[in-house]
Amino acid sequence: MNDSDGTVYLDHAATTPMVPEAIAAMAEQMALTGNASSLHAAGRAARRTVEEARELIAERFGARPSEVVFTSGGTEANNLAIKGLYWSRLAEDPARKHIVFSSIEHHALLDPVTWLATHEGAEVDMTPVDKQGRIVVDDLRAAVERDPARVSAVTTMWANNEMGTIQPIHEVVEIARAHDIPVHSDAVQAAGYLPLDFAASGLDAMTITAHKLGGPVGVGALVIGREIDLTPLLHGGGQERDLRSGTLSVPLIAAFAAAVEVTVSRQAETVARIEALRERLVEGIVHVVPDAIVNGDPLPGPEHRLPNIAHVTFPGCEGDAMLMLLDAQGIECSTGSACAAGVPQPSHVLLAMGYDDVAARGSLRFSLGHTSTQQDVDRLLEALPAVHQRAQRASLVRSAS
C-alpha cells in the first residue's frame, strides 16, 4: 500500500517501489562527480563503484563479472540480444536467417523480432503455448530441427509477465545446444522471485532490469557469455566490452546493485510471504465472483509459476472498465503488460493460450510485491463485488446498444 495516500498498489509486475537501500545508494552517488571512463581520481572512484556493482550482480545471478553488460533497461537488453545475435550469426553464414521464439514474449522482444522480419529479412517461427501459457516443447523442437543450420537464435522468456507461468528453460537450452544455436531468455519478471543461475542454466544471454527488483527505472543488464559474438546497436566510446557504448550512469548502476543485493538475499522469505498473500487473493476473488477464472499454472513453485502474479478473467466484463472502476477507489492493477496499456487490443498472450477476443479483453492482472500487505488484498476483495456488478451491467448495456 502507498501509505501517503492510501492507494493499494497491485501492479508490481509493471514496476515495483524502490527499496530504501537502492534509494540511499543512488542519492550517495548523485552527490559525486566522475565519469567512469576518466583516468583521474574522480573517474577511478566512479569506475570502482561500477565494477563493484558488476561483481555483485554477477555473483548473485551466477555469472562472471565480465558477462554483465549494463544497458538502459530490459527493452534495450532484449534488442541488443536478439538483433545482435541475428546480425552476428548472419555475418558468419548468410543462410542463418531463422529466429525461433515463443508466442507469449513481451513486446520488448516480440517487436524487435517483428522488426527484423520486416526490415532485415529474418524468417521467424513463433512457437505455440498450452492453456497454462507454457511453451509446447515438442513444437519448439520441431521448429529448431526442421532446418537447424538456418537458425540464428532461439529466445524464450523465463517467466511470462502476464500469467507468471514459468517456462522450461533447461529443455529449450538442451534442444538448441545440440545444434550449436545460441539461446537468450528475458528473465526480467523471474529475477526477483526465482534463484537464477546463468552459468547453470546453459543460456548464452539473459536479460534483467532494475525496476522489477526494487531498483530505479533506466538501468538493466544483458548477461552474455564471453564467447558469444554480438553485433552492437550503439557505437561510440566502446564501453561495456564495445557492446554498449555510452557514458555509464554510476548512480543508477549503484542503485541497481543495492536492489539486487537486498532482493536476492531476502528472496526465500519474500516468496513465502507473497505466495500466502496471492493464495488469499485468489481464494477471495473466486469466493466473491464465483465465475471468475484464474489463468496460468495453478501450482506454486519454481517449475510452475511466479508467486506474485494472479491473472483473472471476469466473464461478461471489460477489463478496462473494471480497471478504471477499481482505480477510482484507489486500487491499482493492470489488464496485462504495462507497455501495452491504453492500446485497444486484446492481450496476445491470452490469444496465444486459446482465449477469444471477448475473454481476452475481460481480464485483469493483480501483481504483488515487497510492499504488499494483507490489508491491500482485503481492500481489493471488499471493493470487487460492486465493481464487478457495475462492469457487468455496463457490458450488457453496451451489447444491447
Amino acid at 9: Y
In angstroms, the CA 256 to CA 212 distance is: 10
CB within 8 Å of 336: residues ≥ 6 apart: 162, 311, 347, 349, 350, 363, 365
Distances in Å between the alpha carbon of 115 and those of 119, 124, 148, 326, 386?
6, 11, 22, 36, 43
Measured over the CA atoms of residue 216, residue 218, residue 220 and residue 226, the dihedral's sign is: negative
* Residues classed as catalytic: 339
CB-facing half-sphere around the CA of 366: CA atoms within 13 A: 28
Residue 100, phi then psi, degrees to nearest 5: -110, 125
Dmax (CA) for the chain in angstroms is: 72
In angstroms, the CA 318 to CA 308 distance is: 23
In angstroms, the CA 22 to CA 343 distance is: 32
Report the phi/psi class of residue 301: left, alpha or beta, with left for phi > 0 and alpha for psi in -120 to 50: left
Neighbours of 90 (CB within 10 A): 18
CB within 8 Å of 368: residues ≥ 6 apart: 10, 12, 274, 277, 278, 281, 307, 308, 309, 310, 376
Q: Is 213 buried (19+), middle (13-18) or exposed (0-12) by CB count in 10 A? A: buried
CB within 8 Å of 139: residues ≥ 6 apart: 127, 128
In angstroms, the CA 356 to CA 350 distance is: 8
60, 260 contact by CB (below 8 A): yes
100, 144 contact by CB (below 8 A): yes
